[in-house]
């Protein structure tokens, strides 16, 4: 959590620096009317800043849990495909090895690549394509096999759809505009506190504000890329299915 501590400490330092800088520039003993205006402006800026952070934070949480849900759908589709191949009988057993290779590639290559490059693995696509081609070439000889082949093709397409969504999550990052607005908001709020004297209680409250703001900014930053640390979403479901297949 070095990054998190760094962001929080940097936020505290920035808030206190701007606060004392504002008092140096604007004066240390403002009139009552100025204090009232400062408090009014501070309240409005704080409300807008809090709303922006809350909306972005909620959006990142939704994206994070959406990826978890989509991964579960994909793993379920792979599992159904694997066991439908067993139900199909002779002729479809070759799907098993290809699906196992697909899972191994997603876990060992694709997931780390999504965190660093934001792109899906071409090897994983190759394994997916091999499974697709194999199923397309099946020649069902009974209504049971016809139904299983149709279902397997549907599951293959479902896997592809969720792969595309996974890449979308990896490439969708917060733009610089948000970070500029977030930092400027913190600085403006810090300036608004200049009318309050630097008593111990006030400095503690300023530090509490800065600490919590820094924590929220760190959380947003951490969840903006769900494939990399510090809160990377691990492919646990893929690993569990692979272990189940191997056993």
* pLDDT tens-digit series, residues 82-125: 999 889 887 778 889 999 999 999 999 999 888 888 889 999 99
Structural tokens at position 59: 């959006």
107-118 exposure pattern, b = at least 16 Cβ within 10 A, e = fewer: beebbebbbeeb
* Nearest partner of 227 among 141, 101, 106, 140, judged by Cα: 106
State the Cα–Cα distance between residues 18 and 192, nearest whole angstrom: 10
The C-alpha torsion from 157 through 241 and 238 to 231, rounded to 10°, is: 140
- Residue located via tokens 């070439």: 137
State the Cα–Cα distance between residues 83 and 75, nearest whole angstrom: 12
State the Cα–Cα distance between residues 226 and 241, nearest whole angstrom: 21
Give the residue with greater pLDDT, 92 vs 191.
191
CA distances from 182 to 21, 215, 246 (A): 20, 13, 48
- Cβ–Cβ under 8 Å, residues 105 and 238: no
State the Cα–Cα distance between residues 148 and 84, nearest whole angstrom: 6
State the Cα–Cα distance between residues 197 and 29, nearest whole angstrom: 8
CA atoms within 13 A on the CB side of 48: 12
pLDDT for the residue numbered 231: 80
Average pLDDT, the chain: 88
pLDDT for the residue numbered 76: 95
pLDDT for the residue numbered 1: 66
């Amino acid at each position: 959590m070095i990054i998190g501590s760094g962001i929080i400490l940097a936020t505290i330092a920035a808030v206190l620096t701007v606060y004392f800088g504002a008092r140096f520039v604007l004066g240390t003993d403002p009139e009552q009317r100025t204090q009232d205006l400062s408090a009014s402006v501070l309240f409005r800026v704080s409300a807008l800043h809090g709303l922006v952070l809350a909306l972005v934070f909620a959006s990142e949480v939704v994206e994070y849990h959406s990826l978890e849900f989509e991964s579960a759908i994909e793993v379920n589709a792979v599992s159904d495909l694997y066991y439908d191949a067993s139900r199909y009988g002779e002729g479809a057993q070759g799907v098993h090895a290809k699906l196992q290779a697909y899972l191994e590639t997603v876990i060992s290559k694709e997931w780390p690549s999504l965190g660093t490059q934001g792109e899906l693995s071409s090897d994983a696509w190759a394994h997916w394509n091999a499974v697709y081609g194999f199923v397309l070439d099946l020649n069902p000889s009974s209504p049971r096999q016809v139904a299983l082949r149709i279902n397997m093709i549907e599951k293959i397409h479902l896997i592809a759809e969720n792969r595309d969504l996974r890449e979308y999550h990896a490439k969708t990052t917060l733009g610089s505009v948000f970070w500029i607005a977030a930092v400027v908001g913190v600085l403006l709020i810090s300036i608004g506190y200049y009318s309050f004297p630097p008593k111990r209680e006030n400095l503690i409250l300023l530090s509490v504000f800065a600490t919590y703001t820094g924590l929220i900014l760190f959380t947003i930053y951490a969840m903006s890329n769900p494939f990399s640390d510090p809160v990377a979403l691990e492919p646990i479901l893929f690993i569990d299915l692979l272990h189940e297949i191997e056993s």
